[in-house]
Amino acid sequence: MAKPNIAVIWFPGNNCEAETLSAVKAAGMDGSILRWNTNEDISKYNGFVIPGGWAYEDRIRAGVIAAKDPVMKMIKEEAQKGKPVLGICNGAQVLVESGIIPGLKDKVEMALAPNINPIISGYYNAWVWIKNAQTKNRTAFTGSLEKNEVLHLPIAHGEGRFVTKDKGLIKQLIKNRQIIFQYCDNSGKVENKFPTNPNGSMLNIAAVSNIAGNVMAIMPHPERAIWQRQHPELEKADKLTNSIKLFSSMKESIRNKK
């Protein structure tokens, strides 16, 4: 069976495309880094990842210029066909600013607002814990993850606080099971306080999906934590960690659809 072919969409200012593609390949998929203005027909790809970085230098606010780019319209169309789309960090900001996440109304329903953090303002780097808050097959990226399974991942952002002004939306996200990952401690306990919640996100949200579960915006960086050697506290070995499951789940979801 041919390996699923993934396009990693690179906007000017992104800087995580290489390790994102590396994670895609480590999970047993093929892929390419595509420029945002490619002439290539992107519909030939089985799935998409929008990597982290600073698309368009975060001008105006993180993700908003890329969100208006014509390629995002094409990605939205591919997502509507059921193809998986994963936005990591800046990619998550692009998905939220484009309205694809959470995607309940045809407008921007959420924001990734500046962090609220008691020790540092602006950009913040740390290793955090997140847990899968839903059952394992809720999304295309969590099929291999048990409910409540905990991942240890780095964050690196200045605007990572999931917020909405629409109180009804939060109720809908809970009802629809669209809050996929939440910041927690290393035992999986969700407490809305720093440093467990590193940026002040509502309900400790670390990742949100669309209602179908094939598009997910996640602020922490799983691609930076798929190998043990990438972790500060683990033995420096070329062994995969459970963070690879986001990508291997993506692979399986594509295969299961064929």
Partner 1 sequence: MATAELFVGLKVPDNVALTAFHTLHSMGYNSLKNLERQDYYKFEFSGDKKAFEKKISQVDILINANKHKFSFSSEDNGKNSGRISILVQNLGTDSRLLRTLKERLGFKNLKSAERGVLWTMHFDGHANSEDTAVEIAKGLLMNENYQTFKVLSRQNRL
Stretch that binds partner 1, among 53-61, 76-84, 123-131, 135-143 (CB under 8 A): 53-61
Give the integer Cα–Cα distance in Å for 83 and 23: 18
C-beta separation of 205 from 170 below 8 A: no
Look up 89 and say whether it is catalytic: yes
Measured from the CB of residue 65, what is the shortest distance to partner 1 in angstroms? Answer: 6
Question: Does 121 help bind partner 1 (rule: CB under 8 A)?
Answer: yes
Look up 57 and say whether it is catalytic: no
Question: Does 163 help bind partner 1 (rule: CB under 8 A)?
Answer: yes
CA angle at residue 178 from 121 to 5, to 5 degrees?
Answer: 90
Look up 235 and say whether it is catalytic: no
Question: Does 160 help bind partner 1 (rule: CB under 8 A)?
Answer: no
Question: Does 108 help bind partner 1 (rule: CB under 8 A)?
Answer: yes
Whichever of 20 and 98 has its CB closer to partner 1, that residue is 98
Give the integer Cα–Cα distance in Å for 10 and 69: 12
Stretch that binds partner 1, among 73-81, 84-92, 111-119, 174-182 (CB under 8 A): 111-119
Question: What sections of the chain are H helices per DSSP?
Answer: 17-26, 64-67, 70-80, 90-97, 167-175, 245-257
Which residue type is seen at 171? K
Number of residues counted as binding partner 1 (CB under 8 A):
21
C-beta separation of 76 from 50 below 8 A: no
Residue 94, both tokens: 């692009």
Catalytically annotated residues:
89, 221, 223
Which positions lie near partner 1, rule CB under 8 A? Answer: 56-57, 59-61, 64-65, 68, 97, 108-111, 113-114, 121, 161, 163-166
